[in-house]
A and B are shown apart, each in its own frame.
Chain A
Amino acid sequence: MKKDMVILIAEDDAGHFQLIKKNLWLSCTEYDILQFKDGQQVLDFLFKNRRMYLEEKKQYILLLDIRMPKVDGLEVLRRIKADEKLRSIPVMMLTTTSEVSMVEQCYELQCSFYIVKPVDYHHFMETVQNLGEFLSLGGIRMPSIGKMKN
């Protein structure tokens, strides 16, 4: 079941993306990891030609930055959770923004979890490793997106 999990990462900072990918891979070795450089790219992937990109059998999870060019993470979250099919995709915020109002807003919009990127490099790595170990738990179950129309 694990092999069917795809981790989507929306992250405009190339350095952050590398760090996230590298540290997730320490535990999530069997998962596919896809990068999107801004909010528009991830929306295109999810909303345009869904049948082409999204596979019913696979399970997706999105790690979402907030401050990104073109479309910000908050809007991406809002669009996903307003879509009848895509709303089941777990979205975890992974951002430098730590304002309480932003945390509240994201949970209101039904993000699964909100994680603040630590400024310190080693803490950042450790945080992503903790996330990776959680996502690779043998007992974790994710929803499938079901049949895609479009």
Chain B
Amino acid sequence: MRAYLTKRYRFSASHRLHCPEMPAEENRAVYGKCNNPHGHGHNYFVEVTVAGPVDPKTGMVCNLADLDGFVNEKIVKRFDLENLNTLSEFAARVPTTENLCVEIYEILQREFHHAEVEKVRMEETMLNSFEYAGGREPRH
């Protein structure tokens, strides 16, 4: 029986939305306040959804200790209290929450093997959220 398990994590980071290929005026027009050269920060929420059959011996899709251990080590520790623009992941990409959401999904897809990774949903603020399921339509 296939079930879905979602766990919510949080971290805080700063970023500046700026595309070096655009002239300064275009950057200001496209990104508005987010183009402030000093950057600004958010308290991000990350929801990781894993899926798979429920193991009859444990009753679990995935042991939460494995999921928590991985996400805290590889994602929260990597991004918490960092300036996203200074990280290698964003050397060639603007650190929008869209790109951050895709990056986190790809880390999980590549390195987390205890269950299928269904999707990543991120909240940048209480009013903005983003979801990525590897190009598939996320299950709702």
On whether the two chains bind one another, the answer is no
Which residues on A are within 8 Å of B, measured CB to CB?
Answer: none
